[in-house]
Amino acid sequence: MDKTEITDWALSHGWQLIAGAPSLTKPSRPKEAIVRLVLKATVVHLEVKKPAGQWQKFAGLPYGKIVADDESGMPLGLGFESMPGFTMLMRENKDRQVFAGLG
């Protein structure tokens, strides 16, 4: 996958651009990112915000080593599958976007 493919996947699955990075937010604080993808020239980093407010790198890989899952299209290799609660957080962000469009 490349930078554009990862960004397109993220935005279509509930992520939003916050400070230029595809990000997920807490349901209780929809303007504050707690998970983000930092897309650099040759690598992508998955970062998680600690309770103290600092960003911690969770995983990082060169674009060439990231492949899309055949069934879900989710980028494999960044640790999404091992992060507890990630799928639920992504679903909550997607639902919030959908329901915000109805109002």
**Is a pLDDT exceeding 80 seen at residue 26?**
yes
Predicted pLDDT at 103:
58
> How many structural domains compose the chain?
1
Cα distance between residue 36 and residue 78, in whole Å: 12
Domain that holds residue 76: 3-102
Looking at per-residue pLDDT, the higher value among 103 and 72 belongs to 72
Whole-structure pTM value: 0.86
